[in-house]
Amino acid sequence: MKAICYNCERSRSGIENICPNCGSFFTLKPDFKFRTNLKENYPYVSDFIYLGEVETPILNLDGFSLKLDYFSPTFSYKDRGSRVLVSYLKGILSERGITKINEDSSGNAGSSMAAYGRKAGFDVNIFIPGKTMQSKVNQIKSYGANIVMVNGTREDVQKTAEKANGFYASHVLNPEFRDGIRTLAYEIFMQSEHMPERIFVPVSAGTLLLGLVSGLEHLMESGEINQIPEIVAVQTELVSPLYSEVQKVPFIDRPDKASIADALVSKRPLLIKPMVEAVKKYGKCLTVSDPEIIKARNDLALSGVYAEYSSATVLAAYRNLKGNKKSLLVLTGNGLKTP
């Protein structure tokens, strides 16, 4: 694997998650051909934590398919990233005598990191915004993690976690989390007779988008697919920094208003540059409104699919996008997580 700084391309020397040369973040890229035994695509993980993960199902509905990526131990796609990051940290932090990990999250990544972190034997602190949904707080607690509630912006929560005693196991900064999401691309490839022409994903911090793109690029470079599907990145009208950057329109923050899509809250994503690059290279970014999201979530429920509002954004976007490309919509979180 190549581990280099996104900005200055300096090689990562250890477990630092900020480049000492320029302050940017690191990225990982496979330098070998795709392997059908998925674990072999992670040579830096020697011992995978197992919480009963399965290949998540693809459901074919009328005119489009859904990748039910919440069929996962903590009921969100985040488990792909946490599994790889925590399995890696388990080996490397124990050698250094570090037993405590800190993570900041608006809910789902917190649950996921708490579950995998605990299974790996770490003491886990999850820093959350004051307004986090009680159902998500309860889930994090159930894994025995310590919750630290921070009042202020999402960025304030991050800064507090960063400064805390222990290893900052940020799912955004540690490249192994994003890298773990490559498995989503591999599964789609292995489950599909013909690859979808369009893939819809909800976007907040950008780890899902970037991990998916990295996996698709790996398949392409390995000669397994001959085209990367068009990627449709979906944001809410209220929290649309990626959309604004791509469209070159100002993003107007409305701190007084929150979207029903409670997981899509990154207003200043650290990974914005590669996110913009990915969207410009492979697709587009769309926004959807709260009424569209609510309708999409309720319609999904009537099809037997109970997803989070944040996840149902992809159906709302699919409905707004013209054309009849073979589409796959990634449903990222189970609806029982939100009221």
Ligand X SMILES: Cc1ncc(COP(=O)(O)O)c(C=O)c1O
Taking CB under 6 A as the rule, does residue 203 contact ligand X? yes
What does 202 interact with, of Zn ion, ligand X, none (CB < 5 to 8 A by kind)? ligand X
Residues from 54 through 113 that contact ligand X (CB under 6 A): 76, 108-109
Residue 192, binding choice from Zn ion, ligand X, none, Cβ under 5 to 8 Å by partner class? none
> Residues 8-47 vs Zn ion: string with x where CB under 5 A?
x-x--------x-xx-x-----------------------
Residue 251 CA to residue 80 CA, distance in Å, equals: 30
Instruction: Decide whether 23 or 144 has the Cβ nearer to Zn ion.
Output: 23
Interacting residues with ligand X between 280 and 319 (CB under 6 A):
308, 310-311
For Cα atoms 261, 324, 276, give the angle at the middle one, nearest 5 degrees.
Answer: 50
**Interaction of residue 338 with ligand X, rule CB under 6 A:** no
Residue 24 contact among ligand X, Zn ion, none, beta carbon within 5 to 8 Å by kind: Zn ion
- Provide CB contacts within 8 A for 256, sequence distance 6+: none
CA distance 41 to 237: 37
Q: Which range in 17-25, 196-204, 212-220, 295-303 contacts ligand X by CB under 6 A?
A: 196-204
Q: Which does 308 bind (CB under 5 to 8 A by kind): ligand X, Zn ion, none?
A: ligand X
Name the CA dihedral angle for 154, 159, 162, 165, rounded to a multiple of 10 degrees.
-110
Largest CA distance in the chain: 55
- How many residues form the binding site for ligand X (CB under 6 A)? 18
Candidate ranges 3-11, 17-25, 95-103, 197-205; the one touching ligand X (CB under 6 A): 197-205
The crossing angle, in degrees rounded to 10, of helices 78-95 and 207-221 is 90
Which single residue is written with the structure tokens 């990990």?
Answer: 101
Q: Does 202 bind ligand X (CB under 6 A)?
A: yes
Burial class (CB in 10 A: 0-12, 13-18, 19+), 63: exposed
CB of 65 to ligand X, least distance (A): 18
Tell me which stretch binds ligand X (CB under 6 A): 152-160, 205-213, 244-252, 277-285: 205-213
Q: Between β-strands 64-68 and 58-60, what pairing exists: parallel, antiparallel or unpaired?
A: antiparallel
Going from the C-alpha of 124 to that of each of 49, 129, 327, the distances in angstroms are 16, 16, 38
Which of 129, 196, 206, 274 touches ligand X by CB under 6 A?
A: 206
Q: Which stretch binds Zn ion (CB under 5 A): 4-12, 140-148, 294-302, 329-337?
A: 4-12
What Cα–Cα distance (Å) separates residue 164 from each residue in 5, 100, 118, 167, 316?
A: 24, 10, 18, 8, 39
Query: Would you call 273 helix, strand, or coil by DSSP?
Result: helix
Q: How far is the CB of 173 from Zn ion (least distance, A)?
A: 13
Which amino acid, residue 231? I
Residues 6+ away with beta carbon under 8 Å from 60: none
Binding of ligand X by 207 (CB under 6 A): yes
Contact residues: Zn ion, CB under 5 A:
5, 7-8, 10, 19, 21-22, 24
Contact residues: ligand X, CB under 6 A:
76, 108-109, 202-209, 263-264, 308, 310-311, 332-333
